[in-house]
Structure 1
């Protein structure tokens, strides 16, 4: 029975049997590359791995579209490569999977299976059960007892119909009951994470019950194997006692030693060291070897080794990250292929067999579903939530397949019964995701917030949030209400400097510095000290409470097990994440109320996750950083003065020693974003991040500000002064109006001043150059580009975010009217109706300009103001609208000429993300940072 040790002995026997050196000519000597050579099996093994991995990966790409876990693709791939499908092709099995090659495949597959069970043990956290023991124990026990009873009952007719009578009925009944009662905890974690159920009451209970179910299931499997391997009842008892003793030794002795070793080597602080990894791997295979030789399967020992690894400092996650790729890419598909080679669905060829197959599927699902549903309902859940728990707990996946393969190798299950149960496991796993999506839609889910209070995402909450948002929108238009609730998106450590700088800008203006001095002097004089202190404290309290920020940390959910482990340990990560910790400390130092959130979702759901989070927290503005690319710095080349492009254009004139865009590409972090020749890695990074930003723009029901930070490590040093100069080019449209409003809010800070220019395009110049035909062609080209761009974005948008609308008379009049109202509000303020604007307007300068080349004018002004800001030891910040929606002006033609003029090619995905104005500024070489705004626009 011991497969692990038997495979090693078989291979050694093959190697010792033939010692003669084979012909090494290979293909050149006419050898068949798929011919089996037991002395050198690597050649055929590589062919087998290539076929297996390609098949499973292609299937997973297809099944991922319908949100099925990867295990489905691996199981189906193994079945297809077996006698069910490809095995019927003449010569396929003989050349690709010959019988003599099975021991080598079996050895590698069983090594991988031990590693996988070790990872399963790492996933299991006893603290999850302790926190939710009251509900999870009831669900877990009901989900074990009822299915086990139904499986034992069905085992009677199955045994008499399909099983050889030489097999003990007790052994067959035990394996059938275990197969019925087991729950695939690793697959369950993946489904909970993808469906965003980990922070719901249902997800918490299912996760806890799944952990307990898994532990009991593996214990029952060990018991079953022990009874099969035992020659008598007394031998079985000895096997069980030795297994229990080994388990206790690992849990109470070796676990303490591992914990001490992890701290001693610094593995809990800096990740597992090489020595600690060596000890863990030796322990893993040593435990697997011991349980294998005493008569329990090797996977049980590997599972125990995973349970005793310390969880402190994310050590279990770090170990998983080091092992999971090889296990999931190579080892597990090999194991499932071996399982598929033993599965022949062609044996299900008569009515009786299909009748029993249907009965197996129906009883397996009804047992799990019914038991867990009734237990959940008894615990106080609604019928909808209880049925969702039942559906999730009925997930079988690869864990049942492991149980079935153990039974098949032990001779307990026949090929026909094995194929029946494989089909049942496949069907129940496939049903889990669609059943849960139908029974528990997002609007019905009850989530648990950071304060452990449940709240529903129902219609009332949505309606209330919509009313508050509508009230804020109206207040913003009428009363000039300051934005005080912000959502800050954090993705990488490089985002922190820019987000800190932007957060500092949105703080309310501090109290005058003279007041504390007066308070101090009055205190020294002994007059009015109490009142001065109270005034100072109240000013500080008002300043700190005026702004609240919700920082959301985004982590992409990949196919890796470690990503799923992070999702299930999100609460711990929330308290230990360095990005959130640094940003929270920054907020505390500035008196800002910062609440932290962590979201682990797939790449396709990153944008919608931020949108839902902002809506749930009634955020008024989402602040998104631009992903900094990787780039190198060549100081010698960057400092080398050139004058080749000095006469390129009048707007390129800068001070002596300035670096032209062509020479500064090593210092310019946006070279990788906007220059297609900067290398494939940087281009891929920019395109991926722009897809995330566009998905956020497309789905956002809140105003969004994209902060494009130009001041990166290795670039020009920031001035030490704490003052800012804002430049706001105002073309019109909702995005530009939002930029103007935000500039007015920032200028309430006495250290910030702004220059606002209303730029209009001279239609006379455009008409003289044949602009009417040119403009129609531009619109057609942009629509075609937008249509092509939509195929690369991950989200289907409510309405296009990359198309300039046709400027009808009605839309033009509406836009001009709204622009004029917004412009007159700041250029001709009514002090009686809006007194709060007076301090900000005193630091804002307004002007109007008409030009046939508005982008070139903006570039010239930005370059001039950038140099002036450097001379004043201040920083320049450009505020502009994205203007991809409801914009009547199209800068397509001018932007194209600007890019050609400055020698910069721009990726279409990136250009459509930030808009034409921001693109022209970055391509021109202007070193000012840019904030790109998109205002909320209703679908109507």
Structure 2
């Protein structure tokens, strides 16, 4: 109606236009009034669109959370709980409830539900594009691209054949459905796969990287096929309808991507010159979210779903701080609020009660079973050709069969375009549920069962061959820990006969994200920061360059820098899994405290302390904690004097496996021409032996500690004798024994006769009960470094000496204990069996 026109009185449908003036007029209509829920509510709010939608959203979220709690013990991902909640709220369970259909799912409210679901899908695909990194495609190895290509072709052909069987059984089935089935069976949901691998702590492994890399290529090809299919179907078979979409993709790549890159670069430069940290990023978040909607609108004009525009826009945003900031701000809202309507719509379109109505039971069973297994079989076929182990091939096949939200999106598009009916839609939903339900249990069994833990050989230095390659995992929380660890590695005697492989891991806290990420540093791209670097990225690059300098100074050292981004609560699991995957013998950690300048200590970060404690309790290999108090003064190349100055190291031996591990590391370091080593073994003194012999004056605990550990003492004696025999002619090594009658004499011996060393190496031995250390436990302040380590950093006369505390790998019995295995997830590496032998990162011992 034009402005200023007077509407004529009359009726328009169910509306009665009474009349009006200028731009105002009255419209009357008849509304059927129903009994309200309260005395003052004349109309039930359930008959209105917004309250009805709020109730639907509440129900789907409540059912999803309930099912998450129920299914968590059997390792089911969030997606399974959400799609099951949608099915339970749909006609499958409520088909006979008239009240539920009338008030919860009336026909006139479905449009609002689908509209909100489409908005949720649009923003979800923006997040998927934001998370997707196309860099691995350029570096794909043989295993990854073979699995991806075959995983697209065979399931795609299988989907077409299965749908052809359906059309033979029912001639009126639309022919377009086969294409959507093919895409559904081919796709691997990258976001859901990342979450599953994160929960299983497999992202840092060769298996996880191969699965993620293959999923990137699979998803990219699947989305191209889906976009082309939707454009052609909407154009009624006209292939020229793809052209506008192609033009949009080219505009995104050659126009939007450079503009975003420049904007983010300029934003970073402006922030560097301002003290208002983060202000520019906040200002641009709204612009980015507006761009999501605008790109979605453009692809809708091109004849495809808005989600394609949002996906491309997310893909064009360079990785960096702004992408992380957007993810932190909207991820939980999109996944928790906007996406549940998608699952509810899927549930409304699924009716398992009539799953075989009008079809043969054998056909239904064949379609569901073949659709559920064809991706796994295709992966097994590829891995068999590449001579991979069956266990790893099965795990990879199941991981590549992860469907998740993206598969449901593909099915929705097929159903919206009338590619198939409700029954065949139900078949695919059931297949998707079966596929995704298998992932957690199967991978947990193949790579995390106690059977494989028992087979896993615990790595430590004592069991390693003297001339074998030493594989070290050096963990850092910041660049402040850098110098001490690098100098320790400088002194660790890397030679051609016994090289050192260092996996340098920069540990970064994961904030606001559901999955752990791993960033591998390629030497050819160390300067390509993909936009303005964040503080963590800049520090990560600094650490990587420092370790590369170590490698350049000594060709017997091989360095592999890595940044691990993970929540502090599970960070130790990532470190443990990576240590197992790379057959690491020792993990080196910096001490979480630093001197406060007045003779005491203060925590740098309490979360760092928890990570160290978790690793000490659940380590798959030996651990060394370095308390650096000046070891950096002896770094080489400072001056000619420092080049020739010897480093004095003292190894204090009490008893037990931790002390033997400390002696092994000291023994290795003694091969360095700059190192002089003194081994001091504390043995029971005369008074202690006499007191033990007297039963009437012996503490039962001390008596038990001495005589119930006779086997451990024999191991100590044998190892000490071997050490003395093999080093008897080495002038740089001195061995001595000191009789002591308790912990106080150990302290006095150290402070009086052994107080002028640069580095002390001791065993942790925290839980041991020995008459030699009686009394030390009464004033222990830092249990993470054991009794002797705590003593060394507490003595004022040793304030300039660094301390390395060694703990041998946790016994296998502790690893298999259920209370431990819940927090420490492991699997045995298969990199030597052929599955991931083409990964350049692997350096097998």
8 Å Cα contact 1:487/1:614 also seen in 2: no
Partner of residue 582 from structure 1, selected from 532, 546, 549 = 546
What is the CA–CA distance in structure 1 between the aligned matches of 2:785 and 2:99, rounded to whole Å? 57
Whether 1:668 aligns to 2:618 is no
> Among residues 336, 339, 348, which one is paired with 2:346 in the alignment?
339
Pairwise CA distance, 1:404: 2.0
Identify, as 1 or 2, the structure richer in helix: 1
- Counterpart secondary structure, 1:732: coil
Distance 1:319 1:611, change over 3 A: same
- Secondary structure (helix, strand or coil) at the match of 2:765 reads coil
- 1:221 aligned to which of 222, 226, 229: 226
Offset of 1:332 from its aligned partner? Answer: 3.5
Q: Distance in 1 between matches of 2:340 and 2:518?
A: 24
Consecutive unaligned residues in structure 2, runs of 5 or more? 1-25, 29-36, 273-277, 528-539, 633-640, 814-845
Instruction: Quote the residue 1:406 is aligned against.
Output: 413
Verify the 8 A CA contact 2:651 2:677 in the aligned structure 1: no
Partner of 2:610: 687
Q: Residue by residue, what CA displacement relative to the aligned partner does 1:618-660 show, whole Å, maximum 9, x if unpaired?
A: x5x543334459xxx9xxxx78xxxxxxxxxxxxxxxxxx65x
Report if the CA contact (8 A) 1:36-1:100 is conserved: no
Q: In structure 2, do the counterparts of structure 1 residues 923 and 150 end up closer, same or farther at CA, with 3 Å as the change threshold?
A: farther
Aligned partners of 2:97, 2:805: CA distance in 1, in Å? 59
Query: Does 1:550 find its partner at 2:485?
Result: no
Q: Indicate yes or no: 2:560 matched with 1:625.
A: no
Aligned partners of 1:574 and 1:580 also within 8 Å:
no
TM-superposition CA deviations, 1:760-809 (whole Å, max 9, x none) = 38365679997656528xx9xxxxxxxxxxxxxxxxxxxxxxxxxx6585
Cα separation, 2, equivalents of 1:399 and 1:138: 19
C-alpha deviations, 1:9-61, integer Å up to 9, x for none?
Answer: xxxxxxx999xxxxxxxx999999x96697986x984x876765565456446
Residue 434 (structure 2) pairs with residue 427 (structure 1) = yes
Structure-to-structure mapping, 1:461-472, within 5 angstroms:
472=465
Q: Kindly indicate whether residue 680 of structure 2 is the aligned counterpart of residue 756 of structure 1.
A: yes
Shift of residue 274 of structure 1?
4.7
2:774 and 2:107 map into 1 onto residues whose CA distance is 67
**TM-aligned CA distance change 1:592 to 1:143, over 3 Å:** same
Distance across 1 between alignment mates of 2:614 and 2:190 = 33
Alpha-carbon spacing, 1:401–1:614, altered in 2? closer, same or farther (3 Å): closer
Q: Residue 656 of structure 2: which of 708, 733, 740 is its match? A: 733
Could you list the per-position Cα deviations for residues 877-927 of structure 1 after superposition, in whole angstroms to 9, with x for gaps in the alignment?
443222268x5627998466325xxxx6x7xxxx4x544444566688986
Deviation digits for residues 853-886 of structure 1, max 9, x if unmatched?
x1x44456667799x76xxxx85x443222268x
Cα distance in 2 between the residues matched to 1:81 and 1:489: 51
Deviations 1:589-629 (A, max 9, x none): 5776242154869657435435435636xx5x543334459
Output the CA distance in 1 between the equivalents of 2:386 and 2:446.
Answer: 19
How far off is 1:198 after superposition? Answer: 8.1
Q: CA deviation at 1:429?
A: 2.1
2: CA distance, partners of 1:771 / 1:351: 90
RMSD: 5.6
Do structure 1's residue 775 and structure 2's residue 740 form an aligned pair?
no
The alpha carbon displacement at 1:106 in A equals: 5.0
- Give, in whole Å, the separation in 2 of the partners of 1:268 and 1:135: 45
Aligned to 2:126: 118
Paired residue for 1:243?
A: 245
1:566 aligned residue:
518
Provide the C-alpha distance between the structure 2 equivalents of 1:466 and 1:575, rounded to a whole number of angstroms: 32
Q: Deviations over 1:132-166 (max 9, x none)?
A: 59746752552354124224303415755xxxx6x
The separation in 1 between residues aligned to 2:165 and 2:270, in whole angstroms, is: 49
Distance 1:691 1:807 in 2: 26
Corresponding residue for residue 848 of structure 1: 739
Alignment of 1:528-547 (within 5 A): none
Match of 2:161 among 144, 147, 150: 150
Structure with larger RCO (C-alpha < 8 A, sep 6+):
2
Give yes or no for contact 1:155–1:172 (8 Å, CA) kept in 2: no
Cα distance in 2 for residues equivalent to 1:500 and 1:880: 19
| 2:740–2:772 Cα contact (<8 Å) kept | no
Aligned equivalent of 1:359, options 347, 351, 366? 366
Number of residue-to-residue matches in the alignment: 733
Cα distance, 1:923–1:386 mapped onto 2, change above 3 Å: closer
**Given the superposition, is the C-alpha separation of residues 308 and 735 from structure 1 closer, same or farther in structure 2, using an over 3 Å criterion?**
closer
Distance 1:383 1:507 in 2: 39
TM-score, normalising length from structure 1? 0.63
1:234-633 equivalences in 2 (<5 Å):
239-266=241-268, 273-274=281-282, 277-310=285-318, 320=327, 323-348=330-355, 352=359, 355-365=362-372, 367-369=374-376, 391-409=398-416, 413-432=420-439, 472=465, 485=470, 487-493=472-478, 494-506=480-492, 548-553=500-505, 563=515, 566=518, 577-578=540-541, 579-589=543-553, 593-596=557-560, 598=562, 603=571, 605-606=573-574, 608-613=576-581, 615=583, 619=585, 621-627=586-592
Residues 138, 111 of structure 1: alpha-carbon distance in 2 compared, 3 angstrom cutoff: closer
Check 1:891–1:320 CA distance in 2 against 1; reply closer, same or farther (3 A cut): farther
Name the CA distance, whole Å, in 2 between partners of 1:181 and 1:400: 9
The alignment partner of 1:668 has SS state of strand
Map of 1:706 onto structure 2 = 625
> Using a 3 Å threshold, how does the CA distance of structure 1 residues 563 and 249 change in structure 2: closer, same or farther?
same
Counterpart for residue 932 of structure 1: 805
Question: In 2, distance between residues paired with 1:694 and 1:87?
Answer: 53
Q: CA deviation at 1:113?
A: 1.8
Partner SS, residue 838 of structure 1: coil
**Alignment correspondent of 1:517:** none
1: CA distance, partners of 2:27 / 2:698: 87
Could you tell me how far apart the structure 2 residues matched to 1:744 and 1:759 are? 20
DSSP 3-state at the match of 1:880: strand
Name 1:879's counterpart in structure 2.
761
TM-score, L = length of structure 2: 0.69
Q: Which SS does the other structure have where 2:602 is aligned? A: coil
Alpha carbons 2:484, 2:628 under 8 Å: kept: yes
Q: Output the CA distance in 1 between the equivalents of 2:58 and 2:629.
A: 45
Deviation at 1:935, TM superposition (A): 4.2
The 8 Å contact of residues 75 and 440 in structure 2, kept in 1 or not, is answered as yes
What is the Cα deviation at residue 487 of structure 1?
0.7
**1:471 CA displacement:** 7.0
Q: Quick one: structure 1 residues 227 and 196, their matched pair in 2 at CA, closer, same or farther if it must change by over 3 Å?
A: same
Quick check: 1:889 aligned with 2:794? no
Residue 426 (structure 1) shift: 0.7
The change in CA–CA distance for 1:144 and 1:730 in structure 2 (over 3 A counts) is: closer
